[in-house]
Amino acid sequence: MPATALLRHTLLQQTHQLRDDALCLHIAGSHGSALLLWLQVAPLAGGLARGLLQVFASHAALALENLQLYLSINDLAFTDPLVRLPNRNAMVVALERRQWPDGTLALLDLDGFSDINSVLDEHFGDTVLCAVAHRLVTELSAHALVARVGGDLFGIYGRADRVTAENLARIFAQPFVINDGEPLRLAATAGLVQMSNTSISGVVALKHAGVALKQAKSRARGKSMYFEPTQIDAASDRMHMLNRLRAAFSEERLFLHYQPLVHLGTGRVVGAECLLRWRRSDGRMVPPDIFIPLAEQSGLMIALGQWVVRTALLWRRSLRGVVDEDFRVAINVSHAQFAEPNFVDVFLLLLCELQVPGAQVEIELTESVAVGNVQQLVAKLTQLRAAGVRVAMDDFGTGYSSLSIIQRLALDKLKIDRSFISGAQAQNNTFEIARTIITLAEHLQLATTAEGIETQEQCEALLAVGCELGQGYWFSRPLAEADFPQWLHHYSTSQSQGESNG
Ligand code: C2E
Ligand code: MG
Ligand code: MG
């Protein structure tokens, strides 16, 4: 019988075929696979030889089984089952082998991915991860290893001129189209480690990248940061600070200050922004710019933010009869807080419970909220505005939201960041940026508040270019609750004296 016929026959019969001049062994593997061995041999004499062959075949079958098992364990151990990319183990091995001795490792985290997962369904989140994996591989895999090292964490290790902060930002510049749906804008924050001149292990390299990532997240979402050894100390300092902040919050040692918002044309006080304050037990004040990002990262911001809303609303209620009906308390709402699926419901419930009309409240969001699902965002903002709450975009000009998004969001006002009013930017550009933002706001039919007004000249210049509202040390520093009515009284008196004198 020709060899091919014998092989076919063996496969069909699934048993060894012993012929006078040849034998074909059938070695069964797992999942219906089989290995066939065809050997040209002298005629087999006696049962012993046949028996030995049988033993050999069963050993070979076992070896095949083991091999297949090994391959699938290998696959499980080194491949991510969802995006079919190398996983964390594979990345550690690649780093240990120093495939790119002068290369860079980037640990990249998708901003707001947990919101995508919690607000939309999990399947959508999986699809987003696959789309990101595909984009990273397309853009980088010729010169780098791309791996999924955790939930929404990707590791990229490769040539230093490819794995750069700029390149990563460029890769995320275009929106992602998921399930042929609406384009989804995603941003990522990354921690980078230069692998040259270090002898650290793969695990430590990933750890360092993680430290840099945390630092980058606390400073500037959507940006990247390189690892520096001092960051390890900084990380432990942050841990201590967070512990102290938690304690201060639970012991009710946090409080709010209130900074007046003034109508520049009439000088009327139209509201006040509430600003969170933390005085440590040693008496030192910790700036909110420092502790709020920390609270955001740790999840504490949700509870903290709710406390701020409640306290601010109670304060507004206490001002009944002291201020005009349309006086608004402006509350800063952080990205993490606003992204909570039940944020709007809880907020509206609080208005109801504390009997503060929506028309006496304003919320300030930063441009970072524009990352993520715009439709969801618009729905939330519309619901708030329907209750009379006004929505301002805070620190406008410092973030990265696109104009088209600003146009689509249901906003009432832009707050021009103080760096364009009294900061270094203002000195360099002499109000040019502020003026441009005011013109833009006019086109979009939005009001404007200039923050950080420190001098009369700044105030007049802003009024001249059509800015409606202002806030800053020129009018008042943020005030303690007890000092606010007194300031209001003095201010109103000096205003009316000014009017009667003028
Ligand atoms: P922001 O919302 O832009 O608040 C305005 C900041 O400008 C405040 O700093 C205020 O004290 C400061 N400021 C006001 N007038 C002047 C001025 O004339 N010159 C200068 N140089 N600065 C002025 P603060 O209180 O340190 O707050 C910093 C940031 O912390 C806030 O910026 C806001 O983003 C955040 N923040 C404060 N309180 C809260 C809060 O309750 N929740 C959230 N999510 N964020 C808060
Ligand atoms: Mg603000
Ligand atoms: Mg601001």
395 C-beta closer than 6 A to ligand 1:
yes
Q: pLDDT band for position 502 (50/70/90)?
A: low
User: Which residue of 418, 425, 473 sits with most ligand 1 atoms within 8 Å of its CB, as the best mutation to test the pocket?
Assistant: 418
**Average pLDDT rounded to a whole number, residues 457-472:** 94
At which residue do the structure tokens 């790119």 appear? 100
- Partnered with residue 365 across adjacent β-strands are 393
275 lines ligand 1 (CB under 6 A): yes
Domains of the chain: 3-78 (no CATH), 88-227 (3.30.70.270), 238-486 (3.20.20.450)
Q: What is the pLDDT of residues 373-414, one digit of tens each?
A: 788 889 999 999 999 999 999 988 776 566 777 888 889 999
Higher pLDDT, 240 or 383: 383
Summarize pLDDT for 166-218 with one digit per residue, the tens: 999 999 999 998 887 778 889 899 999 999 867 788 988 999 999 999 888 87
330 CA from centroid of ligand 2 (Å): 8
Whole-prediction pTM: 0.65
Tens of pLDDT along 79-136? 998 999 999 999 999 999 998 999 999 999 998 888 777 767 778 889 999 999 999 9
Ligand showing the shortest atom-to-Cα distance for residue 334 = 1
The per-residue pLDDT for 122 is 72
Q: What is the pLDDT of residue 220?
A: 64
Instruction: Using most ligand atoms within 8 A of CB, pick from 275, 369, 422, 459 the residue to mutate for ligand 1.
Output: 275
Confidence of residue 44 (pLDDT cuts 50, 70, 90): low
Longest C-alpha distance within the chain, in Å? 128
pLDDT digits (tens, 9 = 90+) for 323-361: 999 999 999 999 889 989 999 999 999 999 999 999 999
Distant-in-sequence contacts of 354-358, Cβ < 8 A, 24+ apart:
354/310, 354/313, 354/314, 354/317, 355/317, 356/313, 356/316, 356/317, 357/388, 358/384, 358/387, 358/388, 358/389
Ligand 1 atom nearest to 453, measured from its CA: 18
Rounded to the nearest integer, the mean pLDDT of the chain is 88
Of the ligands numbered here, which is closest to the C-alpha atom of 307?
1
User: pLDDT tens for residues 282-292?
Assistant: 888 999 988 99
What are the residues whose beta carbons fall under 8 Å from the beta carbon of 435, sequence distance 6 or more? 465
Q: What is the mean pLDDT of residues 416-427?
A: 79
Atom of ligand 1 at shortest distance to CA of 366? 34
Distance from residue 105's CA to the centre of ligand 1 (Å) = 36
Query: Does ligand 1 come within 6 angstroms of the Cβ of 248?
Result: no
Q: Is 186 in the pocket of ligand 1 (CB under 6 A)?
A: no
Determine if ligand 1 sits within 6 Å of the CB of residue 332.
yes
